[in-house]
């Protein structure tokens, strides 16, 4: 077990560098589209305010190349001002004398947000000289950035090597919920996987074949599995390099008596048609291309969801960004929300789909990670969590 922020004592007046993941989705104009990650970071920030620490927040936003005004964290400071019961300051740097001065000048229990740390290329290079400059600002390092805990960067990994450290409350919550769900699932445990990247998700499916009772496969990756099981998919997207992996997964599932459900009908278009009007079919032939699951598949998947006691969902079941192909994903999102099962949803697009279906309040755990959540489930931990000090438990 890792040391948590609650294990740090006598924090009054101490400077705590808190790494958060404020990597929120932005539109082209830089407007924040969703504040979930900011909201989920508030408990740790508020805890530290309550302990009268000086809270120095550090985060990345997007993948900027050098300074990009649209990726400044300044708008996030304005959100924090509304959300926190204390003074919030912002500075357009992450280290140096000016930052030290601002920290000296701030009151106990106040918050200082630093600028987007990825404006410095040293961040993703995990440059330890850069990390040392940031470490010199504070007394403790707390990592609450679960969403980026799979990346060994200067402020996610480097700082933990340089400073007394702990994980934050969000990190603790995600780790314990995901670990419990995978290691001690409630049965029947239904794992629903969709989206695009087959190759990136093969190990995840293999890992979950250990603990899940049923694996439901939809989205673009389903066509690769259908081909592997000898079903024609017309000209739908198939990841050729993954077909033999998919076949292995189907065989392993059969050997272990696990159920794998694949789509039995599809919403398609004809590639050659002038007007690409979507239609439903049981059999994809010729130049048909599938973009969503059909009504029979929705019913089949819903039946399985209804009987589940635990559900883990990653990856949309169709090209949900397009209203013509959103129905499968929306219906499954609503079925998960309405079921009595303990439900966990992870993945960037899956979270957007949950919001689109307006059911985010009916999901038990919405993981803030995309890639991090999938890697955590696959590997049982992440490098930026491993590097944090273990909790010291004294035996009497
Ligand atoms: P997550 O971010 O939740 O892990 P992914 O990034 O793996 O999910 O997949 C999301 C993408 O997969 C979306 O852009 C969606 O449009 C696409 N997708 C899902 N099903 C299909 C399909 N049948 N055809 C084309 N694209 C699809
Ligand atoms: C995410 O959005 O998944 C995390 O914030 C990590 O961002 P990255 O993929 O740009 O490293
Ligand atoms: Mg995605």
Nearest atom in ligand 2 to the alpha carbon of residue 151 is 11
Nearest CA to ligand 2 atom 3: 370
Residue 155's SS3 state is helix
294 lines ligand 1 (CB under 6 A): no
Indicate if 159 and 217 belong to the same structural domain.
no
Indicate if 335 and 285 belong to the same structural domain.
yes
Is residue 396 assigned to a domain?
A: no
pLDDT at 258: 95
Nearest atom in ligand 1 to the alpha carbon of residue 218 is 20
pLDDT at 349: 86
pLDDT at 197: 77
DSSP state, 310? E
Indicate if 14 and 92 belong to the same structural domain.
yes
21, 23, 121, best to mutate for ligand 2 pocket (most atoms within 8 Å of CB): 23
Q: Specify the CATH number for the domain of residue 59.
A: 3.40.50.1260
347 lines ligand 1 (CB under 6 A): yes
Domain range for 87 is 5-172+382-386
The CA 225 to ligand 2 mean position distance, Å, reads 28
Mean pLDDT for 333-338 is 98
Is residue 364 assigned to a domain?
A: no
Is residue 348 assigned to a domain?
A: no
Mean pLDDT for 82-98 is 98
Rounded-to-integer distance, Cα 36 and Cα 103, Å: 27
Do residues 225 and 217 lie in contact, with contact meaning Cβ atoms separated by under 8 Å? yes
371 lines ligand 2 (CB under 6 A): yes
Indicate if 215 and 76 belong to the same structural domain.
no
Is residue 239 assigned to a domain?
A: yes
Indicate if 50 and 148 belong to the same structural domain.
yes
pLDDT at 22: 97
Is residue 369 assigned to a domain?
A: no
Is residue 377 assigned to a domain?
A: no
Indicate if 205 and 294 belong to the same structural domain.
yes
Range from 10-14, 22-26, 122-126, 224-228 carrying the lowest mean pLDDT: 22-26
By CB neighbour count within 10 A (0-12 exposed, 13-18 middle, 19+ buried), where does 289 fall? middle
pLDDT at 27: 83
Is residue 48 assigned to a domain?
A: yes
Indicate if 202 and 134 belong to the same structural domain.
no
Do residues 154 and 126 lie in contact, with contact meaning Cβ atoms separated by under 8 Å? yes
Is residue 238 assigned to a domain?
A: yes
If one counts the domains in the chain, the total is 2
Hey, which of 32-41, 126-135, 266-275 has the most confident mean pLDDT? Answer: 126-135
The CA 388 to ligand 3 mean position distance, Å, reads 28
Task: Give per-residue pLDDT as tens, 206-244.
Answer: 999 989 999 999 999 999 999 999 999 999 999 999 999
Look at residue 198 and tell me whether its pLDDT is greater than 90.
Answer: no
**What is the edge-to-edge ordering of all strands in the sheet holding 342-345?**
259-261, 214-217, 189-193, 310-314, 342-345, 365-366
Indicate if 164 and 213 belong to the same structural domain.
no
Do residues 57 and 113 lie in contact, with contact meaning Cβ atoms separated by under 8 Å? yes
pLDDT at 379: 92
Mean pLDDT for 147-175 is 98
Look at residue 187 and tell me whether its pLDDT is greater than 90.
Answer: yes
Indicate if 49 and 124 belong to the same structural domain.
yes
Indicate if 127 and 204 belong to the same structural domain.
no
Indicate if 153 and 102 belong to the same structural domain.
yes
Task: Give per-residue pLDDT as tens, 115-149.
Answer: 999 999 999 999 999 999 999 999 999 999 999 99
Indicate if 224 and 147 belong to the same structural domain.
no
Task: Give per-residue pLDDT as tens, 102-123.
Answer: 999 999 999 999 999 999 999 9
Which residues carry out catalysis? 37, 197, 348, 371
């Amino acid at each position: 077990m890792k040391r948590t922020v609650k294990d740090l004592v006598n924090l009054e007046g101490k400077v705590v560098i808190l790494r958060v993941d404020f990597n929120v989705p932005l539109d082209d104009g830089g407007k924040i589209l969703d504040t979930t990650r900011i909201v989920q970071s508030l408990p740790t920030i508020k805890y530290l305010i309550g302990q009268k620490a000086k809270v120095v927040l550090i985060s990345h936003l997007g993948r900027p190349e050098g300074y990009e005004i649209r990726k400044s964290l300044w708008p996030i400071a304005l959100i924090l001002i509304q959300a926190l019961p204390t003074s919030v300051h912002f500075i357009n740097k992450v280290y140096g004398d000016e930052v030290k001065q601002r920290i000296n000048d701030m009151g106990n229990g106040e918050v200082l947000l630093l600028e987007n740390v990825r404006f410095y290329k040293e961040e993703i290079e995990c440059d330890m000289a850069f990390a040392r400059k940031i470490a010199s600002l504070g007394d403790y390092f707390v990592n609450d950035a679960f969403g980026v805990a799979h990346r060994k960067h200067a402020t996610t990994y480097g700082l933990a090597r340089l400073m007394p450290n702990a994980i934050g409350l969000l990190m603790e919550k995600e780790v314990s919920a995901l670990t419990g769900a995978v290691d001690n699932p409630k049965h029947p445990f239904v794992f629903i996987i969709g989206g695009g990247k087959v190759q990136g998700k093969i190990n995840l499916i293999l890992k979950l074949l250990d603990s899940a009772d049923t694996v439901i496969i939809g989205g673009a990756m389903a066509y690769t599995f259908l081909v592997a099981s000898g079903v024609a998919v017309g000209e739908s997207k198939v990841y050729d390099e993954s077909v033999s992996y998919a076949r292995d997964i189907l065989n392993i599932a059969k050997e272990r008596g696990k159920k794998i459900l694949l789509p039995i009908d599809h919403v398609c278009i004809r590639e050659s048609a002038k007007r690409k009007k979507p239609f439903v079919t049981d059999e994809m032939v010729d130049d048909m291309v599938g973009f969503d699951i059909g009504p029979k598949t929705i019913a089949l998947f819903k039946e399985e969801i209804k009987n589940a006691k635990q559900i883990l969902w990653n990856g949309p079941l169709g090209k949900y960004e397009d209203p013509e192909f959103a129905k499968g994903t929306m219906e499954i999102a609503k079925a998960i929300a309405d079921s009595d099962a303990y439900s966990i949803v992870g993945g960037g697009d899956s979270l957007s789909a949950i919001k689109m279906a307006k059911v985010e309040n009916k999901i038990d755990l919405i993981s803030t990670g995309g890639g991090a959540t999938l890697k955590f489930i696959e590997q049982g931990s992440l490098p930026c969590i491993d590097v944090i000090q273990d909790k010291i438990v004294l035996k009497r």
